[in-house]
Amino acid sequence: MNRRFFVTDCEGPLTINDNAFELAGLYIEDGEKFFQIISKYDDVLADEIKRPGYNAGDTLKLILPFLKAYGATNNEITKFSEDTLLLIPGARDTLQFVYCTMPSYIISTSYKQYIQALCNLTGFPYENTYSTQLDIDKYSLADEEEQIIKQLREDILKDSSFENLENIFWEKLPHLEIGRIFQDVKTIGGEGKKIAVEDIIGRFKFNASDLMYVGDSITDVQPLRYALEEGGLAVSFNGNEYAIKETEIAVMADNTLPVSILADLFNKAGKEEVLEFINAFKESPQHALYDYPVDPQLSLKYKNQSNIQIEIVDEHNRKKIKEESIKYRKNIRGESIGGLG
């Protein structure tokens, strides 16, 4: 008997926040603009250059010396995460539903403090999560280095060229004492997320073809591609161009109910049934919900929803779906966060 399992990213499919972006805005002078510069640099390194050993989402590593220089602590990161966490409508119900339905896991590039806050809020078991482990308190920072880092922040804002960023992040910062944070912190993004999926498969003896993976951004490229190549279900939820490029199914919605529906069908009947359902859903949502073995409670919830699209993505419609998905993304998460890779 197949043991299908569910894996989702956090920020985007479950929460509205970009926690690291918001932390940068809280602590660092001109922090939101600063983070956007580093995030675009991250996209270039991960997607265009494909630098060996560099993972999409390593932005969360690159900003750490600057968070430290401006006074961030473990306790403050934890409290800020708890106070600001915003769920996508329906996310709590979806997490509870999938966890009761099938083995379920969260793999996130976010700092562990944010994922712990999510688990505390929703009741999802923290032991079923993977995230970027951060203990910023264990690093000391001399006054001289603090001033150097603050000057480097200013230099980045004045000159955000690729050459300047290369010099700062791979020549100047590594030679500082705080630079060891780059070696110590391992972000869970891109290839790191795929490795986490493989760890789940190895630990619990799942088949890769029984994977349903939900993602939305550049950090989900490798696990989405992996799910697709292995015959599993690759689902983008309000995804950006990076996610849409690698997915087979695009969900565009202002709530997570369609993820619950797809997970329910996938668990009961497998991938082909899900694809048939999506085609039927496009013709008549109500008939599809009646004709396919969707949980009756989920079908009832759909009656109060209207802003939901589910599409099978192919080379003919990928561009159109990408544009529509990005509209949903920015509408729900805002222009600043929605525009990040």
Measured distance CA(76)–CA(58) in Å, rounded: 21
Measured distance CA(336)–CA(341) in Å, rounded: 11
Measured distance CA(204)–CA(202) in Å, rounded: 6
pLDDT at 304: 65
- Average pLDDT for 154-176: 96
pLDDT at 1 over 60: no
pLDDT at 335: 78
255-313 pLDDT per residue, tens: 999 999 999 999 999 999 999 999 999 999 999 999 999 999 999 998 766 789 999 99
pLDDT at 247: 96
Q: Which long-range contacts (CB under 8 A, 24 or more apart) does 43-50 make?
A: 43/218, 43/341, 44/162, 46/190, 46/218, 47/218, 47/221, 47/242, 47/341
Q: What is the mean pLDDT of the chain?
A: 95
Q: DSSP character for 1? A: -
pLDDT band at 2 (very low <50, low <70, confident <90, very high): low
pLDDT at 156 over 90: yes
pLDDT at 53: 86
- Average pLDDT for 55-69: 95
pLDDT at 307: 85
pLDDT at 341: 65
Percent of the chain surpassing pLDDT 70: 98
Question: Domains in the chain, ordered, with CATH?
Answer: 5-14+88-132+189-338 (3.40.50.1000), 19-84+135-184 (1.10.3870.10)
182-241 pLDDT per residue, tens: 999 999 999 999 999 999 999 999 999 999 999 999 999 999 999 999 999 999 999 999
pLDDT at 164 over 70: yes
Q: How far is CA 91 from CA 189, 254, 295, 309, in A?
A: 21, 11, 17, 17
pLDDT at 338: 72
pLDDT at 85 over 80: yes
96-151 pLDDT per residue, tens: 999 999 999 999 999 999 999 999 999 999 999 999 999 999 999 999 999 999 99
More confident residue, 100 or 338: 100
